[in-house]
Amino acid sequence: MKRNEKAFTQKDLAEYLNISQSQYSRKEKGNIEITNDEWKRISKLLDVDI
C-alpha cells in the first residue's frame, strides 16, 4: 500500500484530511466513500496519479 511505503499512518492521513482516524479507516476499507477532493489531496500527498 502506497500509504505504508511513504511511512504515513492512518492518523497522519486523517489529520491531513481533517477527519478522525476512525473515519479515515472506514474510508480506506471502503465502508465510506472517499470524495473527489479527498482523492486529489491524498494523491498529491502520496505523489501518485489518481
pLDDT of residue 50: 86
Q: Which of 22, 27, 26 is nearest to 41 (CA)?
A: 27
Torsion angles phi and psi, residue 48, rounded to 5? -135, 160
- The domain spans of the chain are 2-46
State the pLDDT at residue 49. 92
DSSP label at 48?
-
Q: Express each pLDDT in 1-50 by its tens digit.
A: 899 999 999 999 999 999 999 999 999 999 999 999 999 999 999 999 98
What are the cell numbers at 16? 491531513
